[in-house]
């Protein structure tokens, strides 16, 4: 780039009117220009130096890749733990459901067994047994009515005493 | 995204990301942490990368966010940059500039003292070579704001350099 063109580009640059290509041309010009003490030269030397500074090396890449690997493993572990939790929860559910069903089934069976024990297959025998049970019940009721009559007598006397 | 793609497309961005983080934080270790966090985030989001048009700009945005978070949470010394958002004039006397060291170190100091907006837009344009549109996407500032801040940053650096230069010439004249 000739000096006239450089001057024009610099003017545009400092006025904030240059585009990226023109700015890159200026940087490239000063990168290859012989050393100078003018402020523009020093300024563009600074820009060139700064834009090529590489403080992070391959060791940084290794660190990142290790961290990614660690991240992967911990995620795997986390996923496995979640899977185990799912399995444990499902097992617990199955066990509790089976226990509930088993209890209900046993109760029903017990009731059925009682009914079967008390059922007479012979209707005559069943009739006789029912009759016997009812007679027993009525005799007990008669006994209680005697006691009840005594109570009513007691109440009658009590009322008489109160009136006197 | 497969590991091989990550190695070939994302890992090579590490130094650009580092330079940008460093321009915000001014601390080597913190900037390295920021780049590490960015890389891991990209890996974490690898399945969503198909929807991202400009991977490099997206990585820069992540880096910027992590760096700003670090700056805020750690009350880092560059917090002063945020406080100086509206600071327009950070010019120094030629004597102060000459005290700072050689010219490249002086420019480094001037850039380091720019307000945050100017600093990051200057870094993205003049050091990393991003377009105004990309800078706008990375930082969230509108394009005009980006242009104005780059212009102001360049102007501040140039003014200080010219002062330093004229001071040097004067000094050499007096010596002879």
- Calpha distance A134→A142 (Å, rounded): 12
B135 pLDDT higher than 90: yes
Residue A86 belongs to some domain of the structure: no
B169 pLDDT higher than 70: no
ipTM exceeding 0.95, yes/no? no
Q: Is A15 helix (H, G, I), strand (E, B) or coil?
A: coil
What's the burial of B59, exposed, middle or buried (CB within 10 Å: 0-12/13-18/19+)?
A: buried
B113 pLDDT higher than 50: yes
Q: What is the pLDDT of residue B23?
A: 93
Which residues constitute the domain of residue A40? 3-51
Which residues constitute the domain of residue B97? 84-176
- Closest CB to B32: pick one of A45, A46, A56: A56
DSSP A26-37: HHHHHHHSPP--
Residue A78 belongs to some domain of the structure: no
The residue with tokens 């559910």 is: A93
Residue A155 belongs to some domain of the structure: no
Q: How many CB pairs under 8 A join A and B?
A: 81
Instruction: Go through chain B and tell me how many residues it has.
Output: 176
DSSP state for residue B130 in the 8-state scheme: -
State how far the alpha carbon of B104 is from the alpha carbons of A49, A56, A141, B70, B86, in Å.
Answer: 9, 21, 122, 27, 26
- The more confidently predicted of residues B76 and B160 is B160
Do B132 and B164 fall within a single domain?
yes
Q: Cβ contacts (< 8 Å) between A78 and chain B: which residues?
A: none
Residue A119 belongs to some domain of the structure: no
What is the per-residue pLDDT across B18-36, written as a single tens digit (0 to 9) for each?
999 999 998 999 999 999 9
Phi then psi for residue A145, to 5 deg, are -70, -30
- Calpha distance B158→B128 (Å, rounded): 19
Do B110 and B151 fall within a single domain?
yes
Do B153 and B166 fall within a single domain?
yes
Residue A142 belongs to some domain of the structure: no
Residues of B26-54 as b/e, b for ≥16 C-beta within 10 angstroms? bbeebbbbbbbbbbeebbeebeebeeeee
Domain boundary pick from B15, B48, B83: B83
Do B57 and B135 fall within a single domain?
no
Count of domains in chain B?
2
Residue A46 belongs to some domain of the structure: yes
Q: Are residues B13 and B59 in contact, defined by beta-carbon separation less than 8 angstroms?
A: yes
Residue A18 belongs to some domain of the structure: yes
What is the per-residue pLDDT across B71-81, written as a single tens digit (0 to 9) for each?
888 655 555 55
Q: Quick check: B18 and A63 CB within 8 A?
A: no
Q: Is A118 helix (H, G, I), strand (E, B) or coil?
A: helix
Q: Cβ contacts (< 8 Å) between B164 and chain A: which residues?
A: 39
- Closest CB to A16: pick one of B6, B14, B151: B151
Smallest Cα distance from B19 to chain A, Å:
8
Comparing CA positions, the residue from B119, B106, B107 lying closest to residue B80 is: B119
Count of domains in chain A?
1
- Calpha distance B2→B8 (Å, rounded): 10
- Give, for all 164 residues of chain A, the pLDDT tens digit: 788 899 999 999 999 999 999 999 999 999 888 776 788 888 999 999 999 989 898 899 999 999 988 887 777 777 778 888 888 898 999 998 888 887 776 666 666 555 556 667 788 888 888 899 999 998 888 888 888 888 888 888 888 888 87
């Amino acid at each position: 780039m000739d000096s006239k063109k450089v001057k024009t580009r610099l003017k545009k640059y400092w006025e904030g009117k240059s585009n990226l290509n023109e700015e890159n041309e200026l940087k490239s010009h000063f990168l290859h220009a012989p050393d100078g003490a003018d402020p523009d030269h020093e300024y563009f030397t600074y820009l060139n130096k700064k834009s090529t500074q590489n403080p992070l090396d391959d060791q940084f890449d290794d660190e990142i890749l290790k961290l990614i690997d660690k991240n992967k493993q911990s995620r795997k572990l986390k996923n496995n733990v979640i899977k185990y939790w799912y399995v444990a929860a499902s097992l617990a559910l199955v066990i509790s459901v089976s226990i509930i069903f088993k209890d209900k089934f046993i109760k029903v069976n017990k009731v059925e067994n009682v009914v079967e024990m008390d059922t007479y297959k012979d209707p005559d025998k069943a009739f006789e047994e029912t009759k016997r049970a009812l007679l027993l019940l009525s005799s007990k009721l008669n006994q209680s009515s005697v006691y009840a009559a005594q109570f009513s007598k007691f109440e009658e006397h009590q009322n008489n005493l109160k009136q006197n | 995204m497969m590991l091989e793609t990550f190695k070939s497309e994302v890992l090579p961005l590490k130094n650009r990301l580092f330079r940008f983080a460093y321009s915000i934080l001014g601390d080597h270790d913190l900037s390295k942490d920021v780049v590490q966090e960015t890389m891991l985030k990209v890996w974490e989001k690898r399945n969503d990368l198909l929807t991202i048009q400009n991977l490099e700009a997206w990585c820069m945005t992540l880096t910027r966010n992590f760096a700003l978070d670090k700056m805020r949470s750690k009350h880092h010394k560059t917090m002063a940059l945020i406080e100086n958002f509206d600071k327009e004039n950070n010019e120094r006397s030629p004597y102060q500039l000459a005290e700072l060291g050689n010219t490249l170190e002086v420019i480094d100091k001037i850039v380091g003292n720019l307000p945050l907006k100017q600093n990051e837009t200057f870094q993205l344009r003049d050091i990393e070579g991003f377009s105004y549109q990309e800078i706008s996407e990375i930082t969230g500032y509108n394009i005009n704001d980006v242009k104005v801040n780059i212009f102001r940053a360049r102007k501040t650096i140039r003014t200080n350099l010219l002062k330093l230069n004229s001071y040097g010439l004067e000094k050499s004249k007096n010596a002879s």
